[in-house]
Structure 1
Amino acid sequence: MLYYKINLMEYYYPTGRPEKIDRIRAESRGMIYCPTPPPDPEPAKEDPIYRYLFHPATGKRWMDLGEQEPVLKMLFGEFWHEGEIAILLADTNVGKSVLAVQIANSIAEGRPIAPFGMDADPAKVLYVDFELGTRQFYKRYTHAGADYNFNNNFLRAQFTPERLLANGIDYQEEQIIDAIEFWVMELKATVLIIDNITCLRAGMENATAALNLMKKLKTLRADYNLSILVLAHTPKRRNPCAPISADDMLGSKLMINLADSAFAIGTSATQPGLRYLKQIKQRSSAQLYGEDNVCLCRITKPHNFLQMDFEGHSPERQHLSSRTYHQKALATRVPELAARGYSQRLISKELGISLGMVNKLMKK
């Protein structure tokens, strides 16, 4: 019975005897009652930082949120929409910068490039140029003393590498990203075009480097509500007989995997100067310009603005080199490189063919 009462006491008063009993006992002994201070409360547990890396919700909730989101407007037809990180890839001297400036000027003016749609309002564009010098840029947009009148929404930033602090490659890349962010914020730009990604980040063939760069671009996009277009190269030794694909990006394919959209400029083997534009990846629209329906174009300068003129559609296969044509081109190229002092190994690396093929062509 006593054991039962003790347990009842502990049950009703888990911290000890009732305060009233302690007060009576103290008074009966002529002592001043001093209540025992309550124990310190346990500190509240802080939420782990990683809790906020994800935002789970029901499928119905995501549908409700999606309905409230604004419709993604076209910046350059189905190739690039507002809020996207897009990649434009092509070989050297094919016209990436020509098309990129044309797109930037179109967005700044709010005027579409025919035949592609555009339903976005005019926007302030920051064009970060790692490629052209002042005079080179000027020559593209002047003719007979008449300069092209760019809209004030078009802002070109020319790279000045001598201003970089020499504290290692990684630190210099951080400086470049920070500088771009500064001018995006300072100029209140909502569209960012980077020409080109090779200058922005070394070692792009490394998946970790590519992932880090895409994280930074995605952070920029989220912080400043940006639409971003990045120009990139294809390898010199790309097989001209094969259709252009995501595998043709110089460096890590992870860049295209993480981008929202990607498109490419190819060179036609049928006519000198003929190019074609092809969708490689898209998330915001259907693929209208795939390998069965590429957009044909040429670089022209009708007056004082160097640009791409689009002139119809065609299957990509009609513009690829045949294997016979490719082998004839190699048969000419191999002796040219050998005459310039290239070893067979260097020729193999330059043209992306085997040593055996180099040796065979040299014998011929």
Structure 2
Amino acid sequence: MEFRPVTKKGATKENVAPASPSKVGLLVVKTANQTIEDAKLQAIPNALCGNFWYEGEVSILFADTNVGKSILSVQIADMISRGDARGVFGCQAKAQYILYLDFELSDKQFEKRYSVDYQKHYLWDKRFLRVKINTAFTDFDDFEKQLFFEIENLLVETSIKILVVDNITYLKMQSTESGKEAMPLMKHLTRLKHQFGLSLLVIAHTPKRLNPSSPLTFNDLAGSKQLSNFADSIFCIGRSNQEPDLRYVKQLKARSCAVSEEVWVCRLEKQHNFLGFNFLETNFEQNHLKPKNEAKNELMEQVSKLRDDHPDWPYQKIADEAGTNKMNVKRILDRLKL
């Protein structure tokens, strides 16, 4: 007969291992030692993009419009398809197929970016698969549901384990700037990660920044709280105040390494037929931000011009256009007596 320890009502059972679950459910219970033993059987995650993104992670890259987030994400995808380990954005994993969902550029725009005046085109690795929306078949009752359905079918058919989504706004018909819309989207992406063993890079945007002299933070990510909670790693791109073509890449969140206190300074340039980020040095973000007085004067000039051009606009409309808040607009106009 199996021995069963007897305990008094309310007493704690000591040294009794929990029974193994009889069926698969929501919760899985195992000892910490068993967790380690199971983890030993899994491969150590390789870096897909330097310290910014590792295998098995949902990573978010965000930036303002026209800063270069699509350019960097294509560069990352190209290096993954080749297994190119060089540089700060290098891929330590073996060369492998990657699905790049490009909802930003037309085919002709893509050709122009990676050619010399539509000649002498850049030659991509065959593992780089670019996915576009078929504009002839977008009249569905539920566009989002159909889009995710076809993405899942692609993953099943190809067995590809790396997915880049450029950008997140095309996965939701509503804005993802609110947590209410961002949370179910991130839950869906996280489910895909676990279901297919994916590594996901999601490109997102930032609303107009209230203060360009302040460092980039989670608050600059649209839908920041919900998106950042579900992501394994987050990095972003800022525009340097030193030169027009300088950018810096900043790490905000990481689970596979320590978050750097410095940023990676790059020059956005086209070398022959490839537009990309050329790493220059590491530096401190503060050295690339606008001085506070300069940013303040620029905002005052912008608000003043908007009031002159649109005298009937309310404070909120001016604030939205200037990338600030209503109270700042009121203070500036009161000071200028406009």
| TM-score, normalized by the shorter chain, greater than 0.5 | yes
- Report the more deviating stretch, 233-242 or 91-100: 233-242
What is the match of residue 191 of structure 1?
A: 162
Greater CA drift, 92-101 or 108-117: 108-117
**Match of residue 247 from structure 2:** 275
Tell me which amino acid in the other structure corresponds to 1:322. P
Residue in structure 1 matching 2:281, options 282, 307, 312: 312
- Aligned residue number for residue 200 of structure 1: 171
- Between the aligned partners of 1:236 and 1:323, the Cα distance in structure 2 is 17
Structure 1 residues 216-271: Cα deviation after superposition (integer angstroms, max 9, x where no partner): 11221222221100000011134212211112111242111111100000111222
**Per-residue deviation, 1:319:** 1.3
Determine whether 1:163 maps to 2:137.
yes
Tell me, yes or no, if the aligned pair for 1:246 and 1:253 is still in contact at 8 Å.
yes
Of 154-163 and 80-89, the range deviating more from structure 2: 154-163
Residue 109 of structure 1 deviates from its aligned partner by 0.7
Separation of aligned partners in 1, 2:91 and 2:242: 31
Conserved? CA contact 1:90–1:234, under 8 Å: yes
The structure carrying a bigger helix percent of its residues is 1
Retained in 1: the 8 A contact 2:246–2:266?
yes
Aligned length: 311
Partner of residue 265, structure 2: 296
| Letter paired with 1:136 | Q
Query: What is the aligned partner in structure 2 of residue 231 from structure 1?
Result: 203
Gaps of 5+ in 2: 1-20
Aligned ranges 1:114-193 → 2 under 5 Å: 114-144=87-117, 145-167=119-141, 171-193=142-164
Q: What secondary structure sits across from 1:253 in the alignment?
A: helix
Work out which of the residue numbers 81, 87, 90 in structure 1 matches 2:60: 87
**Secondary structure of 2:25's aligned partner:** helix
Q: Secondary structure at the match of 1:136?
A: helix
For residues 130-177 of structure 1, the C-alpha deviation after alignment (integer angstroms, 9 at most, x for no partner) is 11111111100011510111111001111234522342xxx2111111
Distance in 1, Cα, partners of 2:96 & 2:309 = 50
2:10 equivalent in structure 1 = none
Rounded Cα–Cα distance in structure 2 between residues aligned with 1:180 and 1:138: 24
Give 1:68 deviation, angstroms: 2.3
Q: Is 1:108 equivalent to 2:119 in the alignment?
A: no
Secondary structure in structure 1 of the residue aligned to 2:274: coil
Q: 1:108 to 1:240 in 2, by over 3 A?
A: same
Given that 2:246 and 2:265 are in contact with CA atoms closer than 8 Å, whether structure 1 keeps it comes out as: yes
Bigger mean CA deviation after superposition, 151-160 or 113-122: 113-122
Cα separation, 2, equivalents of 1:245 and 1:165: 38
Question: What is the aligned partner in structure 1 of residue 41 from structure 2?
Answer: 68
- Which stretch has the larger CA shift, 302-311 or 210-219? 210-219
Equivalent in 227, 232, 243 of residue 260 of structure 1:
232
CA distance in 2, matches of 1:356, 1:270: 31
Q: In structure 2, how many angstroms separate the alpha carbons of the residues matched to 1:339 and 1:172? A: 42
| Residue 330 of structure 2 is aligned to residue 356 of structure 1 | yes
Question: Partners in 1 of 2:204 and 2:132 — Cα distance?
Answer: 18
Deviation at 1:69, TM superposition (A): 1.9
Query: Is the 1:331–1:361 contact (alpha carbons within 8 Å) kept by the matching residues of 2?
Result: no
Q: CA contact under 8 A between 2:65 and 2:205: conserved in structure 1?
A: yes
Corresponding residue SS for 1:301: strand
Match of 2:296 in 1: 327
Amino acid at match of 2:147: I
- Look up the SS of the partner of 1:269 in the other structure: coil
For residues 86 and 231 of structure 1, the distance between their equivalents in structure 2, rounded to whole angstroms, comes to: 9
Work out the CA distance in 1 between the residues paired with 2:258 and 2:241.
Answer: 27
Shift of 1:350: 2.2
Give the drift of 1:194.
0.3
CA contact (8 A) 1:146 1:304 kept: yes
Q: Could you say which residue in structure 2 is the equivalent of 1:341?
A: 310
Q: What SS class does the counterpart of residue 222 from structure 1 fall into?
A: helix
Give, as a single letter, the amino acid of the residue that structure 1 aligns with 2:165. I
- Which range moves more in the overlay, 182-191 or 335-344? 335-344
Distance 1:198 1:150 in 2: 27
d(CA) in 2 for partners of 1:111, 1:282: 22
Q: Distance in 2 between matches of 1:361 and 1:326?
A: 17
- Quick one: which amino acid aligns to residue 100 of structure 2? Y
**1:117, distance to aligned residue in structure 2 (A):** 4.3
Question: Map of 1:3-22 to 2, 5 A cutoff?
Answer: none
Q: Distance in 1 between matches of 2:85 and 2:146?
A: 34
Counterpart secondary structure, 1:52: coil
SS class of match (2:201)? strand
Where 2:271 maps in the other structure, the secondary structure is coil
Contact 2:265-2:283 within 8 A present in 1 as well: yes
Q: What secondary structure, in the 3-state scheme, does the structure 2 residue paired with 1:53 have?
A: coil
